[in-house]
Amino acid sequence: MIKIHKAGLQTTVQDLGRRGFQKFGVIVSGAMDLLACRMANILVNNAENEAVLEIAITGPTMEFTEEAVIAICGADMSPSIDGHAVRMWRPLFVEKGSVLSFGPLRSGCRTYVAFSGGVGVPEVMNSKSTYLRAQIGGFHGRALQKSDELEIGIPSLKVKSSAAANWGVSSSFITDYSTEPEIRLLQGRQYELFTKASQKRLVTERFEVSTQSDRMGYRLSGQSLSLEEPAELLSEAIIFGSIQVPPDGNPIVLMADRQTTGGYPKIGQVASVDLPLLSQLKPGDGIRFKKTTLAEAQKAYLEREQLLQQIKMAIQLKYGGNGK
């Protein structure tokens, strides 16, 4: 079990999402940075879809009432255990009574803490993810607060002994969370409805993440984008990374807590391989978009997945080949 001494800005339980219920109007939700979430679970010998803590911008302080093995991946929030800085992207053995805390944000926006054995919250529609607006999933459907107590799994002896060996993920795999990334995108379904000038501005101008951004969507400020002429569109399904443009011309990139359907025209779609970079941006950070093709986006995604699976296999060998 962990006890929360300080909540942080927003700490929620998330997994890879609540899939299969969009037709009923239930959003997917789940971790914003799916790559960091999956890697944290792999490092502690969990299934990739096990629940983790997603921590945004300002981290919590938590006490462990029992021994644990954890991994911290994603944004660098200066993690420390009992006042001693600890390294990320590796399994860490935590002794009973130890306190995990976070300091200044050095890069990125969201970090993920996985616990060997998982997080002890009930599944709601096949997922432990927290959907804050509907107050479902996670820990009572809300962000963690001071004095909360959260059940976590008990690591096996094999996991504890392997975690003590001081190994981690190669730095070549760790994402560089730039505050001005170049994000690859494909043309959206209504791309041709936009003016040529807007199509050009999309890939030549800098956009900035506004303060009106959250897990549902990133509102971008910058050059206004406009249609050739007004158009009435039927609402249709949307996915993570869809770029909608409302009447004010400021694009919105739809994120993990996106609605299930949308009726604004979509000028672009962020390539899946770049969603982790996008998810680590905070208000004030900049974005530049770069066009890519479907074939190029698929190739980049498959190459990253192949590398992730190679790392997973190597880690499973560390744990005696009993990975999940």
**Ranges for all domains in the chain classified under CATH 2.40.100.10:** 182-292
Give the CA angle between residues 217, 220, 225 to the nearest 5°.
115
Tell me the whole-structure pTM to 2 decimals: 0.92
Q: In this structure, which topology does domain 182-292 adopt according to CATH?
A: Cyclophilin (2.40.100)
114-132 confidence digits (pLDDT tens): 999 999 999 999 999 999 9
Structure confidence at residue 324 (pLDDT): 62
CB of 276 closer than 8 Å to CB of 34: yes
pLDDT tens, residue by residue, 172-190? 788 888 889 999 999 999 9
80, pLDDT greater than 60: yes
Are residues 60 and 4 in contact, defined by beta-carbon separation less than 8 angstroms? yes
**Residue 276 to residue 175: CA distance in whole angstroms:** 8
Strand 107-115 and strand 84-85: the pairing is unpaired
